[in-house]
Amino acid sequence: MPPRSSVRPRGRTLVAAVALAAAAPLVLSGCGGEGGLESAGPTPTAVGPVRLWPGLPPATEPPFDYGETDTQRVPGIAVPDDDVRRLDAVAVVRAEVNAHPDTYSGADGMYEETARLIGRCSTEPTTCPVLRPYHRDLTGDGRDELIAGIRMPDQQVAVRVYLAEKGVLTRVMSTIDQVISVELAGRDVIVRAASAGIPGYEYRTAWSWDERQGAMLPTRDEIVRVTPPGPPPSRAPEPRFVEPEPPGSLAPSRTASPAPSRTASPVPTATGEPR
């Protein structure tokens, strides 16, 4: 049976960044002399971006819809006082699985094996793939959102964010990847993922709340060098949740599942979700 997963495709484009040279103002001289100001030397000329092929017509519509803005109400889950801390994360994920029992791709996608284990969480908690939930105000409205993680095959982890509003629960983010760690920085969820094709590098995607779209969007996506080039590791590191400083509402967690390729609406394959 094919994997049932959900991710934002990783169609990444490397963009050359042109750095603006910072102007160096006058600085105080050291002790001695007359104690006046001395020049720091000539200021480098600022270089702005140069547009290539200015005659190209603008794109009228993108060729693919990755589903970054897709949201989904979670059926059968009521949220008294819009307090997500009163919810059982396993019950939330199970409600989504039950609502889409035959969905193997897209934001609701789930591996069949993972869906089966979720159904046994009550009787077999030690094998339950739903990780410890976290709570954080990601939208800035003063109320916490629910952040859930789901371990899947092939060392992948699905990360989902749920928003409570007017007593109902809505999923506003869903992605899956071969996760190294998930971190919080302010109101951003930062997913660090292993790079299969570029040894010594990792992908880092920052998901941020967009009020206009009513969803968490991947606002920053980058490829970062983390180790010297070399053969890829035989085993991907176990994913972990990293608690921000000062201690917030998140704390560490466990492992991951499906093969990577990120997308707001992932389509899993034998190697992982599209990115």
Virtual CA dihedral for 141, 180, 261, 69, nearest 10 degrees? 0
Using CA atoms, how far apart are residues 93 and 108, in angstroms rounded to an integer? 10
pLDDT tens digit string along 103-145? 655 566 788 899 999 999 999 999 999 999 999 999 999 999 9
Which sign, positive or negative, has the C-alpha torsion 169, 170, 172, 173?
positive
* Residue 70 scores a pLDDT above 90: no
> What residue spans define the domains of the chain?
1-11+66-275
Please report the pLDDT score of residue 61 as a whole number. Answer: 80
* Residue 211 scores a pLDDT above 90: yes
Average model confidence (pLDDT) across the chain: 77
Confidence of residue 220 (pLDDT cuts 50, 70, 90): very high
* Residue 247 scores a pLDDT above 60: no
Contact 215, 72 (CB under 8 A): no
In angstroms, what CA-CA distances link 197 with 122, 202, 232, 260? 39, 10, 9, 11
pLDDT tens digit string along 91-111? 999 999 988 777 655 566 788
Using CA atoms, how far apart are residues 153 and 4, in angstroms rounded to an integer? 11
pTM over 0.85: no
Please report the pLDDT score of residue 246 as a whole number. Answer: 56
Give how far the C-alpha of residue 226 lies from the chain's centroid of Cα atoms, to the nearest Å.
18
Confidence of residue 248 (pLDDT cuts 50, 70, 90): very low
Please report the pLDDT score of residue 77 as a whole number. Answer: 95
- 268 vs 70, residue with greater confidence: 70
